[in-house]
Amino acid sequence: MAMIKVVNVVGARPNFMKMAPIIAAMRKRGGEIEQLLLHTGQHYDEAMSGSFFRDLGMGAPDINLETGSGSHAEQTARVMLAFEPVLIRRQPDWVVVVGDVNSTFACALVASKLGVKVAHVEAGLRSFDRTMPEEINRALTDRISDLLLTPSRDADENLLREGLEPRSIVRVGNVMIDTLHQQLERAKSSKILAALALEPRRYAVVTSHRPTNVDNQERLRNLFSALKEIVRHLPAVFPAHPRTQARMREFGVEPPEGVRVIDPLGYQDFLKLWSNSRMVMTDSGGLQEETTALGIPCLTLRENTERPITITQGTNHLVGSSGQRLTTVARRILNDEYTNEGRVPELWDGHAAERIIEALLNFDHGLTRRQHMVSAVSAMNAGAGVISSK
C-alpha cells in the first residue's frame, strides 16, 4: 500500500483535544502515513492555544495560518484564502477536519474544490437549530466530505436521513474520549486544586463562551442570578473565556460572591478541575461528552444539544437559559435525586483514533464520492439526450 499524505487541520481549542490522539495514532503508522499539522489560528493566543499543544503532546504546528478573529464571514474567508495555496503546494491525499468551527468548514470547502479528499471527524452531529453557526458548519462539512467518521449511532442515522451515501459513513466512536483516557493519569499531577484551595466534590465548575449566552446581557445576568442561589450551597469556579470576560466588563456584570472567575486553564489543569467537581455547568459541546464518560453531572446552558446521547445514556441535563431551571436541577443533584447510572455509549472506549486511521487507509482510493456524482450526472444527461452548449 502506497503512503498517503494527510493534512490535519485544527483551528480552536475543541479541535486540539480531538486531533491529538489522531496525530499520535498516525505517528505509530509512520510508514503508511505522512502527516502535517496545520493550525488556522482561529484561537491564537497563548492561553487559548499554545498551552494546549504542549499539554496534549502534539508539538508545534507545522504551519500556522494566523488568521485571527473576526465575524463568521471574515474568519471563514481568511482561512480559505490562506489555506488554498498551502494545499496547492503540498498536494495531500487527504485533509482531515474535526468538529464544527469555522476553520472546519472553510478548509473542507477549499479541499473539496481542489479535488482533495476530505475526512470529517465527528460527522453527523445535529442540534437541528439553524440559528447556531456550528450547525451550519456541521451540515455543510458533511455534505462535501468523502469520509464521514461518526461518534455514535444517532449521528449515522442523521446522515442517512439526509441522503448521504452509506458507504461513506464509518462509525469510529468518540475521539474526545481517547484524549480523556490518555490524559487522566497525567492530570493527577496538576496542582490546580491546591492553588485554588479546593477539595474534591465540594465545588462546581462553570464555563460559558457561546455568543448566544455571553453576548446577551439578560442571559448573562440570569446565569449569575442563578449561580447566586447555587453557591449558597456549593462554591463555583469559572474559568472564563476572554470573550466572556470582555462582555462582563462591557455589561458591568459582576459574579456573585462564591463564584471565583479565573483565566482559562491548560488542558491538564482544566481536566483536573472539572473531573473532581460535584457538577459542571457549561454551554460547551465537548464537556457534555467528557462528563458523561466520567459520570460527572453536567447542566448544559443551551436550549438544545447536538449530542443527545449524553442525555439518553449519560449524565447531561439541558437547562436552557432559564435560571429557575438551572437552580432546580442543581438542587436535585445536590440532594442526590439524580443517580449517575448512565452507561458509557458504544465505542467511547479510547480507541476511536485507531479506527479513524484504519478508515483512512482502507478507503476506496478509486473514484471519490464527488467523482461518482459527476459520472452519474453525466450518464443521466447522456441518457436523457441533453444538448451541450459547446
Query: Domain with 108 in it: what CATH number?
Result: 3.40.50.2000
101 in the same domain as 231 = no
From the list 181, 209, 351, 372, the catalytic residue is: 209
Same structural domain, 11 and 146: yes
Residue 362, domain extent: 4-173+348-381
Q: Is residue 342 part of a domain?
A: no
Tell me: do 203 and 143 sit in the same domain.
no
Residue 390 included in any domain? no
| Residues 314 and 354 placed together within one structural domain of the fold | no
pLDDT of residue 378: 42
CA distance 224 to 218: 10
The DSSP letter of residue 26 is H
- The size of the chain, in residues, is 390
Q: Is residue 387 part of a domain?
A: no
Q: Is residue 178 part of a domain?
A: no
Residue 222 lies in a domain: yes
Q: Does 165 lie in the same domain as 20?
A: yes
- Bridge partners of 150, per DSSP, are 171
Residue 377 lies in a domain: yes
Give the Cα separation of 346 and 174 in Å (integer).
Answer: 9
Q: Assess whether 63 and 122 both reside in one domain.
A: yes
Is residue 179 in some structural domain? no
Kindly state the average pLDDT of the residues 36-50. Answer: 73
DSSP string, 320-348: TT-HHHHHHHHHHHHTT-S---PPPPTT-
Cβ neighbours for 301, distance < 8 A, ≥ 6 positions apart: 208, 213, 223, 281, 282, 283, 319, 320, 321, 326
Mean of all residue pLDDT scores within the chain: 89
* Mean pLDDT value across residues 220-247: 93
C-alpha cell at 224: 449569575
pLDDT value, residue 380? 37
Q: Is the pTM of this model over 0.75?
A: yes
**Do 149 and 209 have their domain in common?**
no
Q: Using the 8-state DSSP alphabet, how is residue 60 labeled?
A: S
Q: Rounded to a whole number, what is the distance in angstroms from the first to the last CA of the chain?
A: 41
Residue pLDDT, tens place only, 370-379 = 444 444 334 3
- Together in a domain, 76 and 218: no
Q: Are residues 201 and 79 in the same domain?
A: no
Statement to judge: residues 242 and 365 lie in one domain: no
DSSP H helices in the chain: 13-28, 51-55, 72-90, 102-113, 133-144, 153-161, 175-187, 192-195, 211-214, 217-230, 242-251, 267-275, 286-294, 309-312, 323-334, 352-361, 369-384
Q: Are residues 167 and 194 in the same domain?
A: no
User: For residue 336, is pLDDT > 70?
Assistant: yes
| Residues 179-223 pLDDT 10s | 999 999 999 999 999 999 999 999 999 999 888 888 889 999 999
Among 311, 334, 357, which residue terminates a domain?
Answer: 334
Q: How many domains does the chain have?
A: 2
Q: Which three cell numbers stand for residue 283?
A: 454551554
- Annotated active-site residue 209? The verdict is yes
Amino acid at 341: E
Same domain, 163 and 204: no
Mean pLDDT to the nearest integer, 346-350: 94
- The per-residue pLDDT for range 253-279, each reduced to its tens digit, is 999 999 999 999 988 999 999 999 999
- The answer as to whether 54 is a domain residue is yes
Q: How confident is the model at residue 343 (pLDDT cuts 50, 70, 90)?
A: confident
